[in-house]
Amino acid sequence: MKKIIFIVAIVVFVLSGCATRVPVSYQKPAKYDMKNYRNIEVEEVKVSPLYSFMGFNQRVIDLSEESGFTVYGDSQLFIDRSIANHLTNKIEKEIFKETYFSKADEREATGILETTITALELKQYIFGRKEKDDTTKYFLKQSLALAVNFKVKDGKDGKSVYSHNLRESYEKEYLLDPIEGYILFAPSVLPYFKDLADSIANQIASLIQPKRVTSSVALAANKPYLGEADKFYEAAKEKQWALAFSGFYSIFKDSAHIPSGYNAALIKEVLDERDEAIKIMKNVYLESGDKKALKQLTRMEKFKKEQDVATKQY
> Is 0.75 surpassed by the pTM of this model?
yes
Residues 6+ apart with CB under 8 A from 295: none
Per DSSP, helices labelled H in the chain are 2-15, 79-96, 190-208, 230-237, 241-255, 258-270, 274-288, 291-311
CA separation for the pair 237, 244 (Å, rounded): 9
pLDDT at 6: 44
Convert the pLDDT of each residue in 52-63 to its tens digit.
555 565 789 999
**Widest CA span of the chain, in angstroms?**
85
pLDDT (tens digit per residue) in 91-146 = 999 999 999 999 999 899 999 999 999 999 999 999 999 999 999 999 999 999 99
SS3 string, 119-157, reads EEEEEEEEEEEECCCCCEEEEEEEEEEEEEEEEEEECCC
Overall fold of domain 2-29+213-311? 1.25.40
Name the residue ranges covered by the structural domains of the chain.
2-29+213-311, 39-209
158-193 confidence digits (pLDDT tens): 999 999 999 999 999 999 999 999 999 999 999 999
pLDDT in tens, 28-73: 999 999 999 999 999 999 998 876 555 565 789 999 999 999 999 8
CATH code for the part of the protein at 39-209: 3.40.50
% pLDDT > 90, the chain: 87
Q: How many residues does the chain have?
A: 314
Buried b (16+ CB within 10 A) or exposed e, 294-303: bebbebbeeb
